[in-house]
Amino acid sequence: MRIIKKYSNRRLYDTEVSGYINLEGLAALIQGGQQVQVQDAKTGEDLTRVVLMQVLMETKGALELVPAGLLHRMIRMGAAPTDGSGPMLRVCSTQLAAGLEMLDAQMGQVEAQLGWVAPEATRAAPAAATPPAEDAVAAVGELRARLAALEAQLKRP
């Protein structure tokens, strides 16, 4: 696990190489298979989710993932926007989080089945992931069948 310290001036410090790193560099580390943990340099608080979300939003165009209408509704549902205590906002947030966790588990299983998982990422994966949806299993089976057919065609004289 690579430790990144975040300072109050918003700079990120990679403790492994003893140097500063920007969001693009952090994204490159993760794309290379590194697992990172971002900590507040002063308090030690875990800021990993916040910083990874920032990486997605600022460098990977993930703003397109969440429709503006949903964002408006989530903000509108929070009766007190500063503390997020609105009951409908909590329900919506819980549902969204559950859906994203399920997607993460399914993507992890597909990566493992296709051999796309870096060794370090495999060690950090949860031990008991949610089984993939039947559609995903069927799609992988279909891809395997198509691959076998292509290999058979290549073997013909």
Average pLDDT over residues 130-157: 73
Domain span at 29: 1-64
Q: pLDDT tens digit string along 68-120?
A: 887 777 777 765 555 556 677 777 778 888 888 898 889 888 888 887 765 44
Residue 6's pLDDT is 95
**5 pLDDT more than 80:** yes
**153 pLDDT more than 50:** yes
40 within some domain: yes
Both tokens of residue 134? 């039947």
CA distances from 105 to 31, 34, 101, 132, 147 (A): 18, 18, 6, 8, 25
| 112: Cβ contacts below 8 Å, ≥ 6 apart | 122, 125
52 within some domain: yes
Q: How far apart are the first and last CA of the chain?
A: 50
Task: Categorize the per-residue pLDDT at 139 as very low, low, confident or very high, splitting at 50, 70 and 90.
Answer: confident
CA 98 to chain centre: 13
25 within some domain: yes
- Number of structural domains found in the chain: 1
Task: Categorize the per-residue pLDDT at 145 as very low, low, confident or very high, splitting at 50, 70 and 90.
Answer: confident
89 within some domain: no
CB 70 within 8 A of CB 63: no
145 within some domain: no
Residue 122's pLDDT is 46
32 within some domain: yes
Average pLDDT over residues 138-142: 77
Q: pLDDT tens digit string along 10-52?
A: 899 999 999 999 999 999 999 888 999 999 999 999 999 999 9
33 within some domain: yes
Residue 125's pLDDT is 45
| 7: Cβ contacts below 8 Å, ≥ 6 apart | 13, 41, 42
Both tokens of residue 79? 């009766």
Task: Categorize the per-residue pLDDT at 3 as very low, low, confident or very high, splitting at 50, 70 and 90.
Answer: very high
31 within some domain: yes
Q: pLDDT tens digit string along 116-137?
A: 765 444 444 444 444 555 666 7
